[in-house]
């Protein structure tokens, strides 16, 4: 009986595992292999060069700038995004009060969730273009608003190396916070209101109920969201926003002030014809992503709470 069960499970998983190996694991292994070659990506001919690409990467100033910018995004964007999403979701779902100790959501919370979620409906390319126009130093909506209130401080948001990366980070936060507002709202709706009402009867305020009830019971969701946001900040979302919004050869803003690792991989592979070196940077990006996920899982581990 058990032998038949194991044979059924093996047969059921064989096709998905084969496809996963073919389309996910095998490309990773190929990238690692090509990182030890001098392949240009334009010719089938290449030669093994050992660790030369890795030695070059460690001495590449632009790579370290890209690494620093990606590290800033992976630390800043998830922190700001998840903090704002938790605050908005908490206020929407348990911010209302009714009949003394009763806890309820604010009036119109469903409409607010739709408004917060709206950026998720837009393509990231459209969002990047809209903010590129908004950041325009002369005719953009942001500096026009500053002029309208009489402020002379009107920076060149995407042209100033001191502001370019922060401007990109703000776009990433704006276009992702709504998704987590809806996600955390769904999680909070499953928490019994009796918990909040008992805390209110004991004299607890909103801050206490959030840190003692809401956050511990949502911690697994928050931790998963942190990993997801980190992957976005290290991957396609950051690449798309930087590549579309910033100026300079191959993107990356003035003096590579917004160059991130995925954009540098793209530039080396498709602009400079250095596919082997691009795969080397890609391997480094893979290591950074896995390390980030491992650190979040390790530091975010806590005893599971059930209700």
Model pLDDT for residues 186-213, shown as the tens digit of each residue: 888 888 878 877 877 777 777 888 888 8
For 144-164, write each residue's pLDDT tens digit: 888 888 888 888 888 888 898
Task: Quote the distance between the C-alpha of residue 199 and its chain's center.
Answer: 34
- At 93, is the pLDDT very low, low, confident or very high (cuts 50, 70, 90)? confident
Distance CA 101, CA 97 (A): 7
| Phi, psi dihedral angles at 104 (to 5 degrees) | -150, 170
Please check whether residue 148 lies inside any domain of the structure. Answer: yes
- Counting beta carbons within 10 angstroms of the beta carbon of residue 160, is it exposed (0 to 12), middle (13 to 18) or buried (19 or more)? middle
| SS3 call for 258 | coil
- At 55, is the pLDDT very low, low, confident or very high (cuts 50, 70, 90)? very high
Domain count for the chain: 1
Q: Is the pLDDT of residue 40 over 60?
A: yes
How does the average pLDDT of the chain come out, rounded? 85
Instruction: Output the pLDDT for position 189.
Output: 82
Please check whether residue 31 lies inside any domain of the structure. Answer: no
Q: From start to end of 57-150, where are the E strands?
A: 96-98, 102-104
Please check whether residue 281 lies inside any domain of the structure. Answer: yes
Q: How many CB atoms lie within 10 A of CB 304?
A: 8
Instruction: Output the pLDDT for position 3.
Output: 57
Q: Which CATH number belongs to the domain containing residue 184 in this structure?
A: 1.10.3720.10
Give buried/exposed letters for 9-46 (b at 16+ CB in 10 A, else e): eeeeeeeeeeeeeeeeeeeeeebeebbbbbbbbeeeee
Instruction: Output the pLDDT for position 66.
Output: 92
Q: Is the pLDDT of residue 280 over 90?
A: yes
Instruction: Output the pLDDT for position 265.
Output: 92
Q: Are 88 and 181 in contact (CB under 8 A)?
A: yes
Q: Which domain holds residue 234?
A: 59-299
Please check whether residue 220 lies inside any domain of the structure. Answer: yes
Please check whether residue 104 lies inside any domain of the structure. Answer: yes
- At 5, is the pLDDT very low, low, confident or very high (cuts 50, 70, 90)? low
Please check whether residue 49 lies inside any domain of the structure. Answer: no
Q: Are 258 and 164 in contact (CB under 8 A)?
A: yes
For 68-84, write each residue's pLDDT tens digit: 999 999 999 999 999 99
Q: What is the pTM of this model?
A: 0.85
Please tell me what DSSP assigns to residue 162: T
Please check whether residue 79 lies inside any domain of the structure. Answer: yes
Instruction: Output the pLDDT for position 61.
Output: 92
Please check whether residue 264 lies inside any domain of the structure. Answer: yes
Tell me the Ramachandran region of residue 46: left when phi exceeds 0, alpha when psi lies from -120 to 50, beta otherwise: beta
């Amino acid at each position: 009986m058990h032998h038949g069960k194991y044979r059924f499970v093996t047969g059921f998983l064989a096709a998905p595992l084969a496809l996963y190996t073919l389309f996910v694991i095998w490309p990773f292994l190929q990238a690692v292999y090509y990182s030890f070659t001098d392949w240009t990506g334009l010719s089938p001919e290449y030669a093994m060069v050992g660790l030369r690409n890795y030695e070059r990467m460690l001495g590449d100033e632009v790579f370290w700038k890209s690494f620093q910018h990606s590290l800033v995004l992976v630390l800043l964007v998830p922190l700001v995004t998840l903090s704002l999403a938790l605050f908005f979701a908490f206020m929407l779902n348990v911010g209302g009060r009714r009949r003394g100790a009763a806890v309820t959501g604010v009036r119109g919370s469903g409409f607010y969730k739709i408004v917060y979620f709206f950026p998720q409906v837009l393509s990231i390319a459209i969002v990047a273009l809209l903010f590129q126009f908004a950041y325009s130093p002369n005719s953009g909506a942001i500096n026009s608003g500053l002029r309208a209130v009489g402020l002379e401080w009107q920076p060149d948001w995407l042209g100033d190396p001191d502001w370019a990366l922060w401007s990109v980070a703000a776009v990433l936060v704006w276009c992702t916070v709504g998704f987590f507002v809806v996600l955390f709202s769904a999680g909070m709706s499953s928490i019994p209101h009796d918990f909040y009402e008992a805390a209110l009867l004991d004299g607890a305020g909103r801050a206490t109920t959030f840190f003692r009830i809401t956050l511990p019971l949502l911690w697994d969701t928050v931790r998963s969201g942190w990993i997801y946001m980190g992957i976005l900040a290290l991957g396609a979302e950051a690449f798309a926003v930087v590549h579309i919004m910033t100026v300079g050869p191959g993107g990356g803003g003035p003096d590579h002030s917004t160059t991130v690792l995925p954009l540098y991989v793209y530039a080396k592979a498709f602009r400079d014809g250095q596919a082997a070196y691009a795969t080397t940077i890609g391997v480094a990006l893979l290591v950074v992503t896995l390390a980030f996920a491992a650190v979040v899982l390790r530091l975010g581990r806590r005893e599971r709470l059930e209700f």
